Amino acid sequence: MDGIDQFSTSGAYVHAGEEFTRDTNYIEDRITRDGVPGAKGEPGWRVEPDRYRLVVARACPWAHRATIVRRLLGLEDVISLGICGPTHDVRSWTFDLDEGGKDPVLGIERLQQAYFTRFPDYPRGITVPAIVDVPSGAVVTNNFPQITLDFSTEWTDFHRAGAPDLYPEALRDEIDTVNKRVFTEVNNGVYRCGFAGSQAAYDAAYERLFTALDWLSERLAVQRYLVGDSITEADIRLFTTLVRFDAVYHGHFKCNRAKLTEMPVLWAYARDLFQTPGFGDTVNFGQIKQHYYIVHTDLNPTQIVPDGPDESGWSTAHHREGLGGRPFGAGTAPSRPATEG
């Protein structure tokens, strides 16, 4: 989820002398079991099968979370998926991967069109993930932290049999606490390094990032998952940054104290998740690299996309089973093949 000003979809630029600050003003409408009225006075966005389309980009870590949660919970048959290409211009993410360059359900070339349908003068970045109301063609929300929580708590009537509880009520306070630190120091921390506008801003961001990664390594050295003994929302939020770390953040964002592969606990933890259905089968390293290295021309003016790193290590043994726990708790793994996302 990138967005700072009305002219930007990536929202991440180097501003000389400044620390990178992420815009966290989202369209805060929610889709709920009972239907919460919308910001423009709509009668309410109610959970309904086949009404909404989740628009993502495989490249984007914030959208990747929603793709994983949708798959783990088995919501593929009730919430359709639109996939933007890995690159975009200053106006919008585009559907250039689809035939004719148009989303086959929404019939639009740019995600911007769904935003403007609802907010003709929408002043902020056109961001993914976004949920679009298919009948009206209007964006409902781009509030990425809330989207996945609502998938877990408001869409339960449509979860697959055996769907895991990714946000168990008894653990929510701890999950929220962990998520807050992971977001500020890791998920957003890599961006603060990459788009620091001064040496001092970069040095401070670098120190905060690796202090948090050290903390996570210590925590995960004695437990298989971040909170409790099965996968939760917290693991999903951390994974989407870790899986991009060596491919993008280590070099492109100068997060180079160590590669993920040189941090033994986090590397084993990330491989454990990658090899779990719903995680690695939603990763597209090619599109991840294309996005960052082509779009961020202030960091990479040549737009050359690196060939490495070698991806074969992701399938090697992780030996995390010895820490106990069950990936899906009392639930089961998704059995349907990952045919999209």
Tell me, yes or no, if 191 is annotated catalytic.
yes
Print burial letters for 164-193: b (CB count within 10 Å at least 16), e (below 16).
bbbbbeebbeebeebbeebbebbbbbbbbb
Secondary structure (3-state) at 164: coil
Catalytic residue, chosen from 52, 115, 191, 225, is 191
Q: Is residue 206 flagged as an active site residue?
A: no
The H or E element that residue 294 is part of is: helix 285-295
Closest by CA to 64, choosing from 52, 87, 47, 81, is 81
- In whole angstroms, give the CA distance from residue 325 to residue 164: 13
Provide φ and ψ at 271, rounded to 5°: -65, -40
Distance between CA atoms of 55 and 66, rounded to whole angstroms?
Answer: 9
Q: One of 60, 84, 193, 255 is an active-site residue; which one? A: 60
Residue 305 DSSP label: P
Mapping DSSP onto H, E and C, the string for 315-331 reads HCCCCHHHHCCCCCCCC
Give the contacts of 118 (CB within 8 A, at least 6 positions apart). Answer: 40, 136, 138, 139, 140
Q: How far apart, in whole angstroms, are the C-alpha atoms of residue 261 and residue 35?
A: 45
Q: Which residues are catalytic?
A: 60, 191
